[in-house]
Amino acid sequence: MIDIYQALFLALVQGLTEFLPISSSAHLVIPSLVLGWADQGLAFDVAVHVGTLMAVLFYYREDLLRMADRWLRSLAGAPACDDSRLVWYLALATVPAGVVGFLAGDFIEINLRTLPVIATTTLLFGVLLGIADRRTMATEFGRTLGLTMAILIGCAQVLALVPGVSRSGVTMTAALLLGMDRQASARFSFLLSIPIIASAGLLKVWELVVVGGAAAAAAVDWVSLGLGALFSGLAAYFCIAIFLRLLNRVGFMPFVYYRIVLAAILYVFWLV
């Protein structure tokens, strides 16, 4: 069981890395390697997922309310619009990762959550993000999101089930390669995180309460979980806000260089 200080640190790391294209799994593996910390446990995973989910819901609250209103109106017979179509795009783009995660999640967790895998995916998908960003810099206008593009981005999101890839990173990379501009790519990636984080959180709750049983639920440290959710949520909210504000100015290359350095550090830990 982790102590309160470890919980706060891990919650901040989760919140800061969940939405940046730098891989939260690559960062969460470092404390266990350097400091020998124990696994944070299923209940804590649930808490920090709730925190990051609340952050993105609150940041996009106006967009989400408008999208829900237009979508419900379209179901009632009103003409479809960009907002109502976006709801369908998000739903369809979530399906590939949901299906693969359900079928192969345990295999990935057991066999691919290793240091060489995380280091390699951190490096390779960082370089790919850099290529996509350079390509975007060479074009003047971004393409408008369509059904085919949304599904392709959803298929790319499947790769994020492999630790080190980064869900936000690979979806933004796919969007950039498909011709979307930086802001549109980031917005769709963040909105796409909502159903994925929500479904992952519900699955973890099921494992904790139903599979783990009453004893596991009763052993939960609610203070640590509450603080973990709060800290991860606050970190994630400010991370989203600052990232979107600076994105057009700095682009993705700082994150690419960061991933290359991080991968090198992870390789050192692996080889030493």
pLDDT in tens, 93-141: 999 999 998 899 888 888 888 889 999 999 999 999 999 999 887 665 6
pLDDT in tens, 85-96: 999 999 999 999
3-state SS of the chain is CCCHHHHHHHHHHHHHHCCCCCCHHHHHHHHHHHCCCCCCCHHHHHHHHHHHHHHHHHHCHHHHHHHHHHHHHHHCCCCCCHHHHHHHHHHHHHHHHHHHHHHHHHHHHHHCCCHHHHHHHHHHHHHHHHHHHHHHHCCCCCCCCCHHHHHHHHHHHHHHHCCCCCHHHHHHHHHHHCCCCHHHHHHHHHHHHHHHHHHHHHHHHHHHHHHCHHHHHHCCCHHHHHHHHHHHHHHHHHHHHHHHHHHHHHCCHHHHHHHHHHHHHHHHHHHC
Q: What is the pTM of this model?
A: 0.91
The mean pLDDT value for 216-240 works out to 82
* pLDDT at residue 57 greater than cutoff 70: yes
